[in-house]
Copies of this chain bind each other. A is one copy, B any other.
């Protein structure tokens, strides 16, 4: 059916065709699962939500759930994954004049702002993601899984930074070191944001992130006798 209609929809030319019915249904199911899981998690907690509940809320079998997500963690972190991918995209487009550190900072701020400005309010929106972040932070197994995800994303960051500056990441440690520093800085900011009564919403998060970035220099400087 879709074989002869390469550009019936708005998508311009490319290796992708119009997705068939099968593919659309899959996306739909996946989205519904995330949505249902998200709702249940926030309402009754991660541990007290069974996979069976999620699956039957979407009217699929438990087995099907596990064909979409490798485990219960994954459905909770799926929203985060989207944001992380977008950040990588932002980083790739930073101008070459910026130093690596500047590029990272600018990319993360832009990512939060862009995602925050989407007026969407359903699951998958920033507000959902922010709610989720609070939950992740106080749910040990989720936090563990999230940390692992982040470190894998870090490898991508290393790649992008190395390409940017034309370095071999196996030879030059600077991309790896900066990516690691950046990752941990972000997590500190996230933690601080979800623990403190920081201004909610993406802008509050951006503000916290900026404050942490500003402390990077002072933290590594000599002694800390005088206040920052």
Contacts and interface: CB of A to CB of B under 8 A. Distances in A.
Contacts of A145: 144
A215 interface: yes
Contact of A148 (B99, B144, B167, B224): B144
B173 A211 contact: yes
Given A177-B215, A181-B185, A220 B148 contact: no
Interface residues on A, range: 35 or more
A218 interface: yes
Contacts of A217: 220
A224 B100 contact: yes
Given A183-B184, A227-B172, A178 B148 contact: no
Given A151-B187, A177-B188, 10 more contacts: A100-B223, A143-B151, A144-B147, A165-B224, A173-B228, A174-B218, A176-B212, A181-B184, A181-B185, A216-B220
How many copies of this chain does the complex contain?
A: 2
A101 interface: yes
A140 B224 CA distance: 38
B192 A185 contact: no
The 5 closest A-B pairs by CB, nearest first: A184-B184, A180-B184, A144-B144, A147-B147, A177-B219
B185 A177 contact: yes
29 contacts: A99-B221, A100-B219, A100-B223, A100-B224, A143-B151, A144-B145, A147-B151, A151-B187, A165-B224, A167-B224, A172-B224, A172-B228, A173-B188, A173-B192, A174-B219, A174-B228, A176-B188, A177-B185, A177-B188, A177-B216, A180-B181, A180-B187, A181-B181, A181-B185, A181-B216, A181-B220, A183-B184, A217-B220, A220-B220
Contact of A178 (B140, B176, B220): B220
A222 interface: yes
Contacts of A180: 181, 184-185, 187-188
